[in-house]
Structure 1
Protein backbone atom coordinates (compact mmCIF):
# COMPACT_ATOMS: atom_id res chain seq x y z
CA UNK A 1 0.00 0.00 0.00
CA UNK A 2 1.11 3.57 -0.65
CA UNK A 3 0.48 6.71 1.37
CA UNK A 4 0.88 10.46 1.08
CA UNK A 5 2.21 12.46 4.02
CA UNK A 6 0.52 15.79 4.73
CA UNK A 7 2.04 18.30 7.14
CA UNK A 8 2.16 21.94 8.14
CA UNK A 9 5.60 23.56 8.10
CA UNK A 10 6.67 26.70 9.94
CA UNK A 11 10.00 28.55 9.82
CA UNK A 12 11.86 30.46 12.51
CA UNK A 13 9.70 33.54 11.83
CA UNK A 14 6.58 31.40 12.47
CA UNK A 15 5.48 31.65 8.83
CA UNK A 16 3.40 28.58 8.04
CA UNK A 17 2.66 26.65 4.87
CA UNK A 18 1.57 23.10 4.09
CA UNK A 19 2.97 20.28 2.02
CA UNK A 20 1.77 17.01 0.52
CA UNK A 21 4.27 14.32 -0.48
CA UNK A 22 4.23 12.06 -3.51
CA UNK A 23 2.99 8.49 -2.98
CA UNK A 24 5.30 6.62 -0.60
CA UNK A 25 5.50 2.84 -0.20
CA UNK A 26 4.56 1.49 3.20
CA UNK A 27 7.98 -0.01 3.95
CA UNK A 28 9.70 3.41 4.08
CA UNK A 29 6.77 5.57 5.18
CA UNK A 30 7.60 5.93 8.88
CA UNK A 31 11.30 6.45 8.21
CA UNK A 32 10.51 9.43 5.98
CA UNK A 33 7.91 10.80 8.41
CA UNK A 34 10.36 10.65 11.30
CA UNK A 35 13.06 12.36 9.25
CA UNK A 36 10.63 15.22 8.61
CA UNK A 37 9.80 15.46 12.30
CA UNK A 38 13.49 15.74 13.18
CA UNK A 39 13.58 19.17 11.49
CA UNK A 40 11.54 20.45 14.43
CA UNK A 41 9.38 22.49 12.06
CA UNK A 42 6.52 20.07 11.40
CA UNK A 43 3.01 20.34 12.82
CA UNK A 44 -0.25 18.47 12.21
CA UNK A 45 1.20 15.52 10.30
CA UNK A 46 -1.31 13.09 8.80
CA UNK A 47 -1.27 10.23 6.29
CA UNK A 48 -3.63 9.51 3.40
CA UNK A 49 -3.91 6.04 1.84
CA UNK A 50 -4.77 5.17 -1.76
CA UNK A 51 -8.48 4.95 -0.98
CA UNK A 52 -8.62 8.51 0.40
CA UNK A 53 -8.76 7.60 4.10
CA UNK A 54 -6.72 9.80 6.45
CA UNK A 55 -4.78 8.45 9.44
CA UNK A 56 -2.81 9.86 12.36
CA UNK A 57 0.73 8.62 12.90
CA UNK A 58 -0.44 6.37 15.74
CA UNK A 59 -3.17 4.91 13.54
CA UNK A 60 -0.93 4.40 10.53
CA UNK A 61 1.55 2.44 12.67
CA UNK A 62 -1.23 -0.04 13.46
CA UNK A 63 -2.19 -0.21 9.78
CA UNK A 64 1.41 -0.96 8.81
CA UNK A 65 1.67 -3.70 11.44
CA UNK A 66 -1.46 -5.32 10.02
CA UNK A 67 -0.16 -5.01 6.45
CA UNK A 68 2.96 -6.97 7.41
CA UNK A 69 0.72 -9.99 8.06
CA UNK A 70 -1.92 -9.58 5.32
CA UNK A 71 -1.73 -9.79 1.52
CA UNK A 72 -1.65 -6.38 -0.17
CA UNK A 73 -0.77 -4.66 -3.47
CA UNK A 74 -3.18 -6.81 -5.48
CA UNK A 75 -2.85 -6.99 -9.27
CA UNK A 76 -5.38 -9.17 -11.09
CA UNK A 77 -5.46 -10.30 -14.73
CA UNK A 78 -8.46 -12.07 -16.28
CA UNK A 79 -9.44 -13.46 -19.68
CA UNK A 80 -11.94 -15.77 -21.36
CA UNK A 81 -11.77 -18.16 -24.29
CA UNK A 82 -15.12 -18.94 -25.95
CA UNK A 83 -16.04 -21.86 -28.24
CA UNK A 84 -19.10 -20.74 -30.20
CA UNK A 85 -19.74 -24.24 -31.56
CA UNK A 86 -20.21 -25.75 -28.09
CA UNK A 87 -21.09 -22.62 -26.04
CA UNK A 88 -18.25 -23.57 -23.69
CA UNK A 89 -16.10 -20.95 -22.02
CA UNK A 90 -12.67 -21.18 -20.44
CA UNK A 91 -11.82 -18.61 -17.79
CA UNK A 92 -8.29 -17.69 -16.71
CA UNK A 93 -7.27 -15.57 -13.72
CA UNK A 94 -3.83 -14.54 -12.47
CA UNK A 95 -3.41 -12.70 -9.17
CA UNK A 96 -0.20 -11.08 -7.96
CA UNK A 97 0.13 -9.76 -4.42
CA UNK A 98 2.60 -8.92 -1.68
CA UNK A 99 2.63 -10.40 1.82
CA UNK A 100 5.27 -8.97 4.09
CA UNK A 101 8.44 -8.73 2.03
CA UNK A 102 7.45 -11.61 -0.27
CA UNK A 103 5.67 -11.52 -3.64
CA UNK A 104 3.21 -14.24 -4.66
CA UNK A 105 1.34 -15.30 -7.78
CA UNK A 106 -1.81 -17.40 -7.81
CA UNK A 107 -3.38 -18.86 -10.96
CA UNK A 108 -6.84 -20.33 -11.46
CA UNK A 109 -9.01 -21.39 -14.33
CA UNK A 110 -12.58 -22.55 -14.72
CA UNK A 111 -14.82 -24.05 -17.40
CA UNK A 112 -18.37 -22.75 -17.90
CA UNK A 113 -21.19 -23.88 -20.20
CA UNK A 114 -24.19 -22.09 -21.65
CA UNK A 115 -22.89 -18.60 -22.39
CA UNK A 116 -23.99 -17.10 -25.69
CA UNK A 117 -21.12 -14.94 -26.91
CA UNK A 118 -17.46 -14.10 -26.48
CA UNK A 119 -18.50 -10.80 -24.91
CA UNK A 120 -20.61 -12.54 -22.28
CA UNK A 121 -17.69 -14.86 -21.59
CA UNK A 122 -15.48 -11.88 -20.69
CA UNK A 123 -18.07 -10.52 -18.25
CA UNK A 124 -18.47 -13.95 -16.68
CA UNK A 125 -14.68 -14.24 -16.37
CA UNK A 126 -14.39 -11.00 -14.44
CA UNK A 127 -17.28 -11.98 -12.17
CA UNK A 128 -15.50 -15.25 -11.41
CA UNK A 129 -12.22 -13.39 -10.78
CA UNK A 130 -13.87 -11.00 -8.32
CA UNK A 131 -15.47 -13.93 -6.49
CA UNK A 132 -12.02 -15.47 -6.05
CA UNK A 133 -10.77 -12.15 -4.68
CA UNK A 134 -13.29 -12.63 -1.90
CA UNK A 135 -11.01 -15.35 -0.50
CA UNK A 136 -8.53 -12.62 0.50
CA UNK A 137 -8.71 -9.81 3.10
CA UNK A 138 -9.32 -7.07 0.53
CA UNK A 139 -11.82 -4.86 2.37
CA UNK A 140 -10.71 -1.24 2.14
CA UNK A 141 -7.80 -2.07 -0.18
CA UNK A 142 -7.03 -1.13 -3.76
CA UNK A 143 -7.07 -3.86 -6.41
CA UNK A 144 -5.76 -3.17 -9.92
CA UNK A 145 -7.78 -5.21 -12.44
CA UNK A 146 -6.39 -5.68 -15.95
CA UNK A 147 -7.88 -7.37 -18.98
CA UNK A 148 -8.05 -7.01 -22.76
CA UNK A 149 -11.85 -6.54 -22.76
CA UNK A 150 -11.73 -2.78 -23.18
CA UNK A 151 -15.50 -2.32 -23.46
CA UNK A 152 -16.20 -4.12 -20.19
CA UNK A 153 -13.56 -2.24 -18.21
CA UNK A 154 -14.51 1.14 -19.65
CA UNK A 155 -18.14 0.45 -18.74
CA UNK A 156 -17.14 -0.39 -15.18
CA UNK A 157 -15.21 2.88 -15.07
CA UNK A 158 -18.43 4.65 -16.08
CA UNK A 159 -16.87 5.99 -19.28
CA UNK A 160 -18.74 3.88 -21.87
CA UNK A 161 -22.42 2.90 -22.00
CA UNK A 162 -23.67 -0.69 -22.24
CA UNK A 163 -26.72 -1.23 -24.48
CA UNK A 164 -27.13 -5.01 -24.19
CA UNK A 165 -29.53 -6.10 -21.46
CA UNK A 166 -27.75 -9.39 -20.80
CA UNK A 167 -24.38 -7.70 -20.41
CA UNK A 168 -25.92 -5.04 -18.18
CA UNK A 169 -27.04 -7.81 -15.85
CA UNK A 170 -23.45 -9.06 -15.66
CA UNK A 171 -22.26 -5.52 -14.92
CA UNK A 172 -24.77 -5.30 -12.08
CA UNK A 173 -23.54 -8.61 -10.65
CA UNK A 174 -19.93 -7.50 -10.77
CA UNK A 175 -20.65 -4.12 -9.19
CA UNK A 176 -22.77 -5.67 -6.43
CA UNK A 177 -19.98 -8.10 -5.61
CA UNK A 178 -17.36 -5.34 -5.55
CA UNK A 179 -19.58 -3.36 -3.19
CA UNK A 180 -20.15 -6.39 -0.96
CA UNK A 181 -16.42 -7.12 -0.72
CA UNK A 182 -15.80 -3.41 -0.05
CA UNK A 183 -12.58 -3.01 -2.03
CA UNK A 184 -11.48 -0.24 -4.38
CA UNK A 185 -11.09 -1.48 -7.98
CA UNK A 186 -8.89 0.28 -10.52
CA UNK A 187 -9.83 -0.96 -14.00
CA UNK A 188 -7.03 -0.86 -16.59
CA UNK A 189 -7.60 -2.12 -20.16
CA UNK A 190 -4.51 -3.73 -21.72
CA UNK A 191 -3.71 -5.28 -25.08
CA UNK A 192 -3.77 -9.02 -25.70
CA UNK A 193 0.00 -9.37 -25.70
CA UNK A 194 0.07 -8.16 -22.11
CA UNK A 195 -2.57 -10.68 -21.04
CA UNK A 196 -0.95 -13.92 -22.18
CA UNK A 197 -0.92 -15.62 -18.77
CA UNK A 198 -4.67 -15.34 -18.26
CA UNK A 199 -5.34 -16.19 -21.91
CA UNK A 200 -3.31 -19.40 -21.63
CA UNK A 201 -5.21 -20.45 -18.52
CA UNK A 202 -8.53 -19.81 -20.26
CA UNK A 203 -7.51 -21.91 -23.27
CA UNK A 204 -6.32 -24.70 -20.98
CA UNK A 205 -9.70 -24.73 -19.24
CA UNK A 206 -11.44 -25.31 -22.59
CA UNK A 207 -9.21 -28.36 -23.01
CA UNK A 208 -10.17 -29.46 -19.46
CA UNK A 209 -6.64 -28.84 -18.19
CA UNK A 210 -7.49 -27.33 -14.83
CA UNK A 211 -5.01 -25.17 -12.92
CA UNK A 212 -5.02 -24.04 -9.29
CA UNK A 213 -1.59 -22.94 -8.11
CA UNK A 214 0.21 -20.63 -5.71
CA UNK A 215 3.83 -19.66 -6.23
CA UNK A 216 6.25 -17.60 -4.19
CA UNK A 217 7.97 -15.48 -6.80
CA UNK A 218 11.65 -16.23 -7.00
CA UNK A 219 11.02 -19.95 -6.46
CA UNK A 220 11.04 -22.43 -9.27
CA UNK A 221 7.65 -23.68 -10.40
Structure 2
Protein backbone atom coordinates (compact mmCIF):
# COMPACT_ATOMS: atom_id res chain seq x y z
CA UNK A 1 0.00 0.00 0.00
CA UNK A 2 1.22 3.50 -0.86
CA UNK A 3 0.58 6.42 1.48
CA UNK A 4 1.26 10.13 1.72
CA UNK A 5 2.72 11.53 4.92
CA UNK A 6 1.32 14.69 6.49
CA UNK A 7 3.82 16.10 8.95
CA UNK A 8 3.61 18.96 11.40
CA UNK A 9 7.23 19.95 12.06
CA UNK A 10 8.09 22.15 15.03
CA UNK A 11 11.42 23.79 15.85
CA UNK A 12 11.85 24.20 19.63
CA UNK A 13 11.08 27.81 20.53
CA UNK A 14 10.77 28.44 16.80
CA UNK A 15 8.37 28.21 13.87
CA UNK A 16 6.09 25.36 12.91
CA UNK A 17 5.41 24.14 9.37
CA UNK A 18 3.25 21.55 7.67
CA UNK A 19 4.63 19.19 5.00
CA UNK A 20 3.03 16.62 2.72
CA UNK A 21 5.18 13.94 1.11
CA UNK A 22 4.89 12.29 -2.26
CA UNK A 23 3.42 8.81 -2.37
CA UNK A 24 5.56 6.23 -0.58
CA UNK A 25 5.24 2.54 0.07
CA UNK A 26 3.91 2.11 3.60
CA UNK A 27 7.07 0.32 4.77
CA UNK A 28 9.23 3.26 3.63
CA UNK A 29 6.88 5.78 5.22
CA UNK A 30 7.11 3.94 8.54
CA UNK A 31 10.92 4.06 8.48
CA UNK A 32 10.94 7.78 7.68
CA UNK A 33 8.35 8.55 10.37
CA UNK A 34 10.23 6.62 13.04
CA UNK A 35 13.47 8.42 12.13
CA UNK A 36 11.78 11.83 12.26
CA UNK A 37 10.20 11.07 15.61
CA UNK A 38 13.66 10.45 17.06
CA UNK A 39 14.45 14.13 16.51
CA UNK A 40 11.40 15.02 18.64
CA UNK A 41 10.65 17.82 16.17
CA UNK A 42 7.80 16.13 14.36
CA UNK A 43 4.82 17.33 16.33
CA UNK A 44 2.49 14.95 14.51
CA UNK A 45 2.63 12.51 11.58
CA UNK A 46 -0.41 11.14 9.79
CA UNK A 47 -0.62 8.80 6.81
CA UNK A 48 -3.22 9.02 4.02
CA UNK A 49 -3.95 6.11 1.70
CA UNK A 50 -5.34 6.31 -1.85
CA UNK A 51 -8.87 6.76 -0.43
CA UNK A 52 -7.67 9.61 1.82
CA UNK A 53 -8.30 7.44 4.86
CA UNK A 54 -6.07 8.61 7.70
CA UNK A 55 -3.82 6.17 9.55
CA UNK A 56 -1.71 6.63 12.67
CA UNK A 57 1.80 5.20 12.83
CA UNK A 58 0.59 2.46 15.18
CA UNK A 59 -2.29 1.52 12.87
CA UNK A 60 -0.06 1.42 9.81
CA UNK A 61 2.53 -0.78 11.55
CA UNK A 62 -0.19 -3.18 12.71
CA UNK A 63 -1.57 -3.32 9.17
CA UNK A 64 1.83 -4.12 7.69
CA UNK A 65 2.39 -6.90 10.23
CA UNK A 66 -1.06 -8.31 9.54
CA UNK A 67 -0.65 -8.62 5.78
CA UNK A 68 2.63 -10.53 5.91
CA UNK A 69 0.84 -13.89 5.95
CA UNK A 70 -1.44 -12.87 3.06
CA UNK A 71 -0.48 -12.16 -0.57
CA UNK A 72 0.53 -8.50 -0.93
CA UNK A 73 2.62 -6.19 -3.15
CA UNK A 74 0.66 -7.72 -6.02
CA UNK A 75 1.46 -7.03 -9.70
CA UNK A 76 -0.58 -8.59 -12.50
CA UNK A 77 0.60 -8.83 -16.11
CA UNK A 78 -2.20 -9.83 -18.50
CA UNK A 79 -2.64 -10.39 -22.21
CA UNK A 80 -5.23 -11.83 -24.57
CA UNK A 81 -4.82 -13.21 -28.07
CA UNK A 82 -7.48 -13.90 -30.69
CA UNK A 83 -7.24 -16.26 -33.67
CA UNK A 84 -9.56 -14.99 -36.40
CA UNK A 85 -9.43 -18.29 -38.27
CA UNK A 86 -10.51 -20.55 -35.40
CA UNK A 87 -12.37 -17.89 -33.35
CA UNK A 88 -10.40 -19.12 -30.34
CA UNK A 89 -8.95 -16.83 -27.69
CA UNK A 90 -5.92 -17.37 -25.47
CA UNK A 91 -5.86 -15.64 -22.09
CA UNK A 92 -2.66 -15.30 -20.09
CA UNK A 93 -1.65 -13.76 -16.77
CA UNK A 94 1.47 -13.66 -14.62
CA UNK A 95 0.87 -12.62 -11.02
CA UNK A 96 3.75 -11.55 -8.79
CA UNK A 97 3.23 -11.23 -5.04
CA UNK A 98 4.91 -11.40 -1.63
CA UNK A 99 3.84 -13.66 1.22
CA UNK A 100 5.49 -14.71 4.48
CA UNK A 101 8.69 -12.88 3.60
CA UNK A 102 9.06 -14.57 0.20
CA UNK A 103 8.22 -13.60 -3.39
CA UNK A 104 6.19 -15.75 -5.76
CA UNK A 105 5.03 -15.86 -9.37
CA UNK A 106 1.80 -17.49 -10.51
CA UNK A 107 1.49 -18.23 -14.24
CA UNK A 108 -1.86 -19.22 -15.72
CA UNK A 109 -3.44 -19.41 -19.14
CA UNK A 110 -6.74 -20.63 -20.56
CA UNK A 111 -8.25 -21.27 -24.00
CA UNK A 112 -11.79 -19.96 -24.58
CA UNK A 113 -14.13 -20.16 -27.57
CA UNK A 114 -16.95 -17.68 -27.04
CA UNK A 115 -15.26 -14.33 -27.85
CA UNK A 116 -15.37 -12.40 -31.12
CA UNK A 117 -12.49 -9.89 -31.12
CA UNK A 118 -8.98 -9.34 -29.83
CA UNK A 119 -10.18 -6.52 -27.57
CA UNK A 120 -12.66 -8.88 -25.93
CA UNK A 121 -9.81 -11.34 -25.38
CA UNK A 122 -7.77 -8.61 -23.68
CA UNK A 123 -10.65 -7.77 -21.35
CA UNK A 124 -11.30 -11.45 -20.67
CA UNK A 125 -7.62 -11.96 -19.79
CA UNK A 126 -7.86 -9.24 -17.15
CA UNK A 127 -11.09 -10.69 -15.79
CA UNK A 128 -9.52 -14.14 -15.63
CA UNK A 129 -6.61 -12.66 -13.66
CA UNK A 130 -9.13 -11.26 -11.16
CA UNK A 131 -10.55 -14.75 -10.68
CA UNK A 132 -7.04 -15.97 -9.89
CA UNK A 133 -6.58 -13.15 -7.36
CA UNK A 134 -9.80 -14.23 -5.69
CA UNK A 135 -8.47 -17.80 -5.40
CA UNK A 136 -5.21 -16.44 -3.95
CA UNK A 137 -7.13 -14.54 -1.30
CA UNK A 138 -6.14 -11.07 -2.50
CA UNK A 139 -8.71 -8.76 -0.95
CA UNK A 140 -8.82 -5.10 0.14
CA UNK A 141 -5.42 -4.25 -1.28
CA UNK A 142 -4.03 -2.02 -4.03
CA UNK A 143 -3.02 -4.09 -7.07
CA UNK A 144 -1.06 -3.05 -10.17
CA UNK A 145 -2.56 -4.30 -13.44
CA UNK A 146 -0.08 -4.14 -16.29
CA UNK A 147 -0.93 -4.75 -19.94
CA UNK A 148 -0.20 -3.70 -23.51
CA UNK A 149 -3.80 -3.10 -24.64
CA UNK A 150 -4.35 0.62 -25.13
CA UNK A 151 -8.09 -0.02 -25.50
CA UNK A 152 -8.48 -1.85 -22.18
CA UNK A 153 -6.18 0.38 -20.12
CA UNK A 154 -7.44 3.69 -21.50
CA UNK A 155 -11.09 2.68 -21.23
CA UNK A 156 -10.75 1.46 -17.66
CA UNK A 157 -9.00 4.65 -16.51
CA UNK A 158 -11.64 6.74 -18.30
CA UNK A 159 -9.35 8.25 -20.94
CA UNK A 160 -11.25 6.62 -23.82
CA UNK A 161 -15.03 6.08 -24.08
CA UNK A 162 -16.29 2.50 -24.09
CA UNK A 163 -18.83 2.60 -26.94
CA UNK A 164 -18.96 -1.06 -27.97
CA UNK A 165 -21.60 -2.93 -25.99
CA UNK A 166 -19.54 -6.11 -25.74
CA UNK A 167 -16.55 -4.25 -24.27
CA UNK A 168 -18.76 -2.21 -21.94
CA UNK A 169 -20.10 -5.47 -20.51
CA UNK A 170 -16.57 -6.70 -19.85
CA UNK A 171 -15.64 -3.39 -18.21
CA UNK A 172 -18.71 -3.70 -15.96
CA UNK A 173 -17.76 -7.27 -15.01
CA UNK A 174 -14.28 -6.14 -14.09
CA UNK A 175 -15.51 -3.18 -12.02
CA UNK A 176 -17.99 -5.43 -10.19
CA UNK A 177 -15.29 -7.98 -9.39
CA UNK A 178 -12.91 -5.29 -8.16
CA UNK A 179 -15.60 -3.95 -5.84
CA UNK A 180 -16.38 -7.45 -4.60
CA UNK A 181 -12.72 -8.09 -3.77
CA UNK A 182 -12.12 -4.60 -2.39
CA UNK A 183 -9.16 -4.21 -4.76
CA UNK A 184 -7.86 -0.72 -5.58
CA UNK A 185 -6.69 -1.01 -9.23
CA UNK A 186 -3.65 0.82 -10.56
CA UNK A 187 -3.47 0.43 -14.34
CA UNK A 188 -0.19 0.65 -16.26
CA UNK A 189 0.19 0.55 -20.04
CA UNK A 190 3.40 -1.03 -21.35
CA UNK A 191 4.72 -2.14 -24.73
CA UNK A 192 4.07 -5.63 -26.07
CA UNK A 193 7.80 -6.29 -25.78
CA UNK A 194 7.69 -5.55 -22.06
CA UNK A 195 4.62 -7.78 -21.71
CA UNK A 196 6.22 -10.80 -23.36
CA UNK A 197 5.56 -13.19 -20.46
CA UNK A 198 1.77 -12.73 -20.51
CA UNK A 199 1.84 -12.62 -24.32
CA UNK A 200 3.62 -15.98 -24.44
CA UNK A 201 1.09 -17.50 -22.04
CA UNK A 202 -1.77 -16.32 -24.27
CA UNK A 203 -0.03 -17.73 -27.37
CA UNK A 204 0.58 -21.06 -25.63
CA UNK A 205 -3.12 -21.29 -24.79
CA UNK A 206 -3.98 -20.79 -28.47
CA UNK A 207 -1.65 -23.70 -29.21
CA UNK A 208 -3.44 -25.89 -26.63
CA UNK A 209 -0.51 -25.71 -24.19
CA UNK A 210 -1.94 -25.28 -20.71
CA UNK A 211 0.19 -23.54 -18.10
CA UNK A 212 -0.64 -23.54 -14.38
CA UNK A 213 2.32 -22.96 -12.07
CA UNK A 214 3.38 -21.15 -8.92
CA UNK A 215 7.05 -20.74 -8.11
CA UNK A 216 9.24 -18.79 -5.72
CA UNK A 217 11.27 -15.98 -7.28
CA UNK A 218 14.28 -14.06 -6.03
TM-score normalised by L of structure 2: 0.92
Report the CA distance between 1:60 and its aligned residue.
1.2
1:14-163 matches, within 5 Å, as: 14-163=14-163
| Structure 2 unaligned regions, length at least 5 | none
Contact 1:2/1:24 (CA < 8 Å) preserved in 2?
yes
Question: Is 46-55 or 9-18 further displaced after alignment?
Answer: 46-55
Contact 1:51/1:141 (CA < 8 Å) preserved in 2?
no
C-alpha spacing 1:162/1:30, structure 2 compared with 1 (3 Å): closer
Aligned residue-pair number: 218
Q: Distance in 2 between matches of 1:163 and 1:24?
A: 36
User: What is the CA deviation profile of residues 6-35 of structure 1, one whole-angstrom value per residue up to 9, with x for unaligned ones?
Assistant: 221111224211122344444444333222
Report the CA distance between 1:42 and its aligned residue.
1.7
User: What is the CA deviation profile of residues 158-194 of structure 1, one whole-angstrom value per residue up to 9, with x for unaligned ones?
Assistant: 1101221111111111111111111111111111101
Q: Distance in 2 between matches of 1:53 and 1:180?
A: 19
Contact 1:94/1:197 (CA < 8 Å) preserved in 2?
yes
Contact 1:51/1:184 (CA < 8 Å) preserved in 2?
no
Partner of 2:178: 178
Contact 2:26/2:60 (CA < 8 Å) preserved in 1?
no
| Structure 1 unaligned regions, length at least 5 | none
C-alpha spacing 1:163/1:27, structure 2 compared with 1 (3 Å): closer
TM-score normalised by L of structure 1: 0.91
State the superposition RMSD in angstroms.
1.8
Q: Distance in 2 between matches of 1:201 and 1:214?
A: 14
Pair 1:4-2:4 in alignment: yes
Q: Distance in 1 between matches of 2:166 and 2:106?
A: 30
The secondary structure found in structure 2 opposite 1:79 is strand
